[in-house]
Amino acid sequence: MIESLDHIGIAVKDIEESIDLYKKVFEFTDLHRERVEEQMVEIASFLVGDVKIELTAATGDDSPIAKFIAKRGEGIHHIALNQMM
């Protein structure tokens, strides 16, 4: 059974431009950033109410995110849910 929404993943081309845009729209103050080398992505996440938004940008042309954006454009990549144990 699904317990709650964990986060919404959004594929973006430029992490810095996207942070600026989303900061203007949602006015968040806390931002978590990390680089996940094995997935070739940089992530910036923040809360909107109780929902975490995760902006994900490719760090290389072979990244799954780069391929996703090339095929579908920027936008929602995934919705992660928490499952009850």
- Residue 32, domain CATH: 3.10.180.10
- Give the total number of structural domains in the chain: 1
Predicted pLDDT of residue 41: 97
14-59 confidence digits (pLDDT tens): 999 999 999 999 999 999 999 999 999 999 999 999 899 999 999 9
Predicted pLDDT of residue 84: 83
Structural domain of 16: 2-83
Q: Residue range 57-62: average pLDDT?
A: 95
Judged against a pLDDT cut of 80, whether residue 85 lies above it is answered with no
Judged against a pLDDT cut of 90, whether residue 2 lies above it is answered with no
- Concatenating the DSSP letter of every residue in 8-68 gives EEEEES-HHHHHHHHHHHH-----EEEEEGGGTEEEEEEEETTEEEEEEEESSTTSHHHHH
